């Protein structure tokens, strides 16, 4: 879109996928370039050769995968058939769907945000969150202008609940399964199940946050 994405070759994409998988499973420091090379079926030297360094590979993972995490609100704003709350609900669904579909990448994001020291990836995450924040802000303001939403809304706090709830669900889905005796449910079905649950739950919460006076 606004940014010319780097074009990766098929081999590079294979490395990026392998890296994403292993970074999600074991973290950046817990994954060796040899692990990644083995997972991708390529020579270790290729990683430095193609990406320069392990760090740069992580950045490439972000560059390649982060777009799937962007909330898209442009078309929604112009849609005149939906009420502001309906638009927010569409957004929640979009967001939950993306999170569930891109779990590996989101696990990496959750982890990377915990790193104290600044780095290139932290900056990328910051920008991503900023953009998402701005998108949702537009939508909320629109609702506020029309009187559908109340005036005093802490959007960052609201987003914290959105992101936090979905992140926590990804993090502890095994716990959720066990608490609800869903151990035997096939993975795809379970993904659909929690997507639906999360969606309804968050829509309910957002309705309160956006419309009820405290």
Partner DNA sequence: CATGAATGAGTGTTCATTCAT
Partner DNA sequence: TATGAATGAACACTCATTCAT
**Site for DNA, rule CB under 7 A:** 9, 11, 31-35, 42-50, 52-55
Determine contact, residues 16/61, Cβ cutoff 8 Å: yes
Nearer to DNA, 50 or 190 (CB): 50
Give the whole-angstrom CA distance, residue 85 versus residue 53: 45
Q: From DNA, a copy of itself, none, which one binds at residue 107 (CB under 5 to 8 Å depending on kind)?
A: a copy of itself
CA distance 4 to 6: 6
Q: Is the dihedral of CA 101, 156, 61, 64 positive or negative?
A: positive
Q: Count interface residues toward a copy of itself (CB under 8 A).
A: 46
Best CA proximity match to 161, nearest among 125, 118, 210: 210
Interface map 93-112 toward a copy of itself (x if CB under 8 A): --------------x--xx-
Percentages of the chain per state (helix, strand, coil), in multiples of 5: 75, 0, 25
Whole-number minimum distance, CB 76 to a copy of itself, in Å? Answer: 22
Please tell me whether residue 41 binds a copy of itself under the rule CB under 8 A: no
Please say whether the beta carbons of 110 and 119 come within 8 A.
no
- Footprint of a copy of itself on this chain (CB under 8 A)? 24-30, 107, 110-111, 113-117, 126, 129, 133, 154, 156-157, 160-161, 163-169, 171-172, 175-176, 179-180, 197-198, 200-201, 204-205, 208-209, 212, 214
């Amino acid at each position: 879109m606004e940014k010319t994405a780097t074009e990766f070759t098929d081999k590079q994409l294979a490395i990026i996928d392998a890296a994403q998988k292993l970074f999600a499973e074991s973290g950046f420091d817990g994954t060796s370039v040899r692990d990644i090379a083995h997972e991708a079926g390529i020579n270790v030297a290729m990683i430095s050769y193609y990406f320069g360094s392990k760090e740069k590979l992580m950045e490439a993972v972000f560059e390649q995968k982060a777009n799937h995490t962007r909330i898209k609100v442009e078309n929604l704003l112009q849609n005149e058939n939906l009420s502001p709350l309906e638009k927010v609900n569409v957004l929640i669904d979009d967001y939950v769907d993306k999170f569930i579909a891109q779990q590996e990448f989101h696990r990496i994001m959750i982890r990377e945000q915990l790193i104290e020291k600044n780095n290139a990836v932290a900056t990328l995450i910051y920008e991503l969150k900023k953009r998402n924040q701005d998108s949702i802000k537009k939508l909320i303001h629109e609702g506020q202008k029309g009187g559908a939403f109340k005036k005093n809304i802490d959007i960052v706090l609201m987003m914290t609940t959105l992101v936090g709830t979905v992140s926590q669900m990804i993090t502890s889905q095994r716990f959720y399964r066990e608490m609800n005796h869903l151990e035997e449910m096939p993975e795809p079905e379970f993904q659909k199940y929690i997507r639906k649950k999360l969606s309804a739950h968050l829509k309910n919460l957002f309705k309160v946050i956006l419309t009820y006076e405290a």
